[in-house]
Structure 1
């Protein structure tokens, strides 16, 4: 920032981008860094075989908003170097983690669900052209590390910008430099790392590259959302497939600040797309793919929302979402989870309490066929049939529920 009567700070000269010949140090750069009193970022510098040394000492000053830089000599940003203090998040080994995908279940439950398992082999982006990648690396090596690491007033680096635009080749070249300096977890003002930005931009190739370079798959933004939460919420199955194909262990049961796992987010996203009301693309079948991929990765579909206690089956039934309910009840262990209660209510209670849903009859019959117990009482001591609407249709379903024997013993 400029100041009227303040003395100008001594000019900083960037370090050389390649080691000096014969191992001689750049005495002038070293002297400038020493006099400035700057502190070296926490990440260790690269090895002697690296194309450039680690980033030089950077003082804790603000920086101006950068444009997208031209990846050529001389850099692209003006102003002083950015502050890196407090930008990195330590990695914690996730538990539980995904390691091997579960085989998609067989069977034919009709319609979109029946063909879903055949449609999950999503094509990922091809590997970048080696010549283009090498040219991008050469361009990056010509840029001052100060400029690459600079953050604008919203915390974005050039890597965030490239990830947001899905520009895989330059993003990978820049990410390789960031990884070398241990700076892949730099966060913008909403707490998003480059990985989270790439996920939200529907850039599966960039996501896979970042994970391969060591980006933390369990890092979260200020709302507690991991890369899985972002992809599930936005309905991006190719991003989930990129995470799965990377082989990097990832926590499937992490919860955002609303208490939702990625699977909860995928179910809520599909519910919203089925409900309509101006929900933007992707289409419902893309969002349904997200549910299937997370299930195949081993997500616990019996986990319950922290606030409401609802499982994903409660959420699907409560929306009158017959397609999604069918998908969930095809999973192994459905009979064990179909009677899970949330504040005393089973999914059958939820189905009986639906109003105005054309799928109420189908949902109730499907739940009963999968072992739902019509004799379970909720906390108000109500049986499911007591929650049915009045009228001929409700009476017909009430007779159906009353005629069904108990399907499990009381505990």
Structure 2
């Protein structure tokens, strides 16, 4: 019942149910995907319920079966008000909340769905600006833009470039002190410049290449196949 109330954004009934279930361990009960009521509320864009559950003692670091905390879900679904609750997240192996937020912004920019699916329950569909705000908030809260995922060693900049996302690439490189350590990091041997050069002729390809070079990308860096970035440019 508490999960249903959280998904529906029904704050008063959800708080009453949470208070009744708190001493019975109900705040950490999980549904079929491993989500606690807090995770459901975060995904459903219900900041009031998130606050209530935290005050009542819900675990802010609880993760679902995919290893996603409330902060990951808020970032992926594009819910800046949830991020403003300033949940503390210990990043599980895999992607950080910043990775999730960048992927969600990429998907929104390209007109697709987020990596975790569409809106939950009756929650509003987040706008492109909502998802940009999520990235900005995470960076403001101290998210490390040089963190690499454990599967492919991708940074947030790699993901932004691979998605042809010029706005996010600008944002990430403008963070104080970020560009020198970020612009030439490698993911399986590829720098962001390699990825920009390999984009399939998108309108953002040339601006991304110019942006990365302006911030110090090394055009002489070679990937694991010994390719230079310029060797990955499409013919012509």
Would the TM-score normalized by the shorter structure come out above 0.5?
yes
1:340 aligns to 2:178 (yes or no): no
Which of residues 201, 222, 236 is equivalent to 1:356? 201
SS at match of 2:157: helix
Tell me: CA distance 1:271–1:172, structure 2 relative to 1, closer, same or farther (3 Å): same
**Alpha-carbon offset, residue 297 of structure 1:** 1.4
Q: What is the distance in 2 between the residues matched to 1:277 and 1:186? A: 32
Partner residue of 1:377 out of 217, 222, 225: 222
Give the whole-Å Cα distance in 2 for the aligned partners of 1:292 and 1:254: 21
Q: Radius of gyration: which is bigger? A: 1
Conserved 8 A contact 1:252-1:299: no
Q: 2:158 aligns with which of 292, 298, 314?
A: 314
Correspondence for 1:230: 73
Are 1:276 and 2:111 an aligned pair? yes
Measured after TM superposition, the shift of residue 264 of structure 1 is 0.9
Which residue does 1:286 correspond to in 2?
130
CA distance in 1, matches of 2:113, 2:41: 25
Q: Distance in 1 between matches of 2:113 and 2:10?
A: 29
Q: Which residue of 2 aligns with 1:394?
A: none
Distance in 2 between the 1:180 and 1:317 partners?
A: 48
TM-score by length of 2: 0.90
| Cα offset, 1:208, TM superposition | 1.1
Shift of 1:252: 4.7
Question: 1:254 touches 1:262 (CA, 8 Å); kept in 2?
Answer: no
Where in structure 2 are the equivalents of 1:121-136 lying within 5 Å? none
316, 330, 333: which one pairs with 2:174?
330
| CA distance, structure 1, for counterparts of residue 67 and residue 10 of structure 2 | 26
User: What secondary structure is seen at the aligned counterpart in 2 of 1:251?
Assistant: coil
TM-score normalised per structure 1: 0.53
Contact map agreement 1:253 1:300 (CA 8 A) in 2: no
**Alignment check: 8 A CA contact 1:200 1:234 kept:** yes
| Residues 383-402 of structure 1 mapped to structure 2, 5 A cutoff | 383-391=228-236
- When the two chains are superposed, the root-mean-square deviation of aligned CA atoms in Å is 1.6
Query: Is it true that 1:172 corresponds to 2:15 in the alignment?
Result: yes
- The separation in 2 between residues aligned to 1:237 and 1:263, in whole angstroms, is 13
Structure 1 runs of 4+ aligned residues shifted over 6 Å read: none
Q: How many residues align?
A: 226
**Which has the larger share of helix?**
2
Question: Is this contact kept in 1: 2:107–2:113, CA < 8 A?
Answer: no
For 1:56-91, what per-residue CA distance to the aligned partner results, in whole angstroms no more than 9, with x for missing partners? xxxxxxxxxxxxxxxxxxxxxxxxxxxxxxxxxxxx
Gaps of 5+ in 1: 1-157, 392-411
Please name the residue that 2:64 is paired with.
221
- Deviation for aligned residue 1:238: 1.1
Preserved contact between residue 194 and residue 229 of structure 2 (Cα < 8 Å)? yes
Establish whether residue 298 from structure 1 lines up as the match of residue 136 from structure 2: no
Trace 1:182-193 onto structure 2 (pairs within 5 A): 182-193=25-36
